[in-house]
């Protein structure tokens, strides 16, 4: 479980623990992970291990994978939830920060998906949940790197899910939209999120529940909430010549 220290990630961990699954909580904020692990142990009597790791670091990811593969418990599921975004045009952005988005949202998801698939297929059982975003459904000027990274998660996850047909292993892609988490604040758009209509937002536990139900059922995709399904359709169907200038106008107000 990556990105387990807050938001959708911590709610995914709670949902798995409620279903009596042992969990390994992965993030950079060790204290938050330890507090969540203790909560889950006391509430559900499961094993909850903590792994602090900077998932943008390829070497650190490889060491994490090695520890988990050598552990006494079999990895039967992976939730790739860790991710972040920045809001600015690329030319005005910190390029290193933008590359960090790619390392976490793309490289880490690719690495941690592929690392455990072989053993799952050997066993004939397993499930992976990759968290994308409704941003995946269209290019977003002013949010270009993040949207493109989530488009990768969508395309990659759906393709691998199809490759795994008949193996007993599945990859599910979850598409949250506006959700009450720390994401907006970390991306530097906390004030803009606060001004957005409340009906657009979902709560993290509800998003996590939809994702876990789809993961356990082995479904290819999960889109929580009517507003997010509308966003998916509009992003896929709206002509780019209409959509891109509109999005640029909205994000250009910052």
Catalytic residue numbers read 146
Q: Residue 240 and residue 254: Cα distance in Å, rounded?
A: 22
Q: Residue 138 and residue 158: Cα distance in Å, rounded?
A: 16
Q: Residue 160 and residue 13: Cα distance in Å, rounded?
A: 24
Residue 202 contacts residue 174 (beta carbons within 8 Å):
no
Question: Which strand ranges, in their side-by-side order, compose the sheet holding 169-174?
Answer: 77-80, 126-131, 169-174, 221-222
Residue 166 contacts residue 209 (beta carbons within 8 Å):
no
Q: Tell me which DSSP letter residue 93 carries.
A: S
Q: Residue 6 and residue 160: Cα distance in Å, rounded?
A: 28
C-alpha separations of 30 from 33, 52, 159, 187 in Å: 5, 6, 34, 21
Residue with tokens 């279903």: 19
Q: 125 in helix, strand or coil?
A: coil
Q: Residue 76 and residue 118: Cα distance in Å, rounded?
A: 11
Other C-beta atoms lying within 10 Å of the C-beta of residue 7 = 20
- For residue 192, report the phi and psi dihedrals to the nearest 5 degrees: -65, -40
């Amino acid at each position: 479980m990556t990105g387990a220290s807050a938001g959708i990630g911590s709610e995914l961990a709670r949902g798995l623990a409620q279903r009596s699954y042992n969990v390994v909580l992965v993030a950079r904020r060790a204290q938050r992970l330890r507090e969540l692990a203790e909560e889950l142990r006391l509430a559900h009597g499961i094993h909850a291990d903590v792994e602090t790791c900077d998932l943008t670091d390829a070497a650190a990811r490889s060491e994490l994978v090695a520890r988990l593969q050598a552990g006494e418990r079999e990895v039967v599921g992976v939730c790739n939830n860790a991710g972040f975004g920045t809001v600015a045009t690329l030319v005005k952005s910190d390029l290193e920060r933008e590359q960090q988005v790619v390392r976490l949202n793309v490289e880490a998801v690719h690495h941690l998906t592929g690392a455990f698939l072989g053993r799952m297929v050997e066993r004939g059982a397993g499930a992976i949940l990759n968290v994308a975003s409704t941003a995946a459904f269209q290019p977003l000027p002013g949010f270009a790197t993040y949207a493109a990274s989530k488009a990768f998660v969508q395309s990659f996850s759906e393709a691998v899910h199809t490759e795994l047909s008949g193996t007993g292993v599945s990859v599910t892609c979850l598409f949250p939209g506006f959700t009450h988490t720390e994401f907006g604040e970390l991306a530097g758009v906390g004030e803009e999120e606060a001004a957005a209509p409340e009906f657009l937002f979902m709560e993290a536990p509800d998003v996590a529940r939809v994702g876990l139900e789809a993961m356990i059922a082995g479904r290819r995709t999960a889109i929580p909430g009517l507003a997010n399904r509308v966003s998916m359709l509009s992003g896929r169907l709206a002509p780019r010549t209409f959509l891109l200038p509109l999005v640029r106008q909205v994000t250009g107000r910052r």
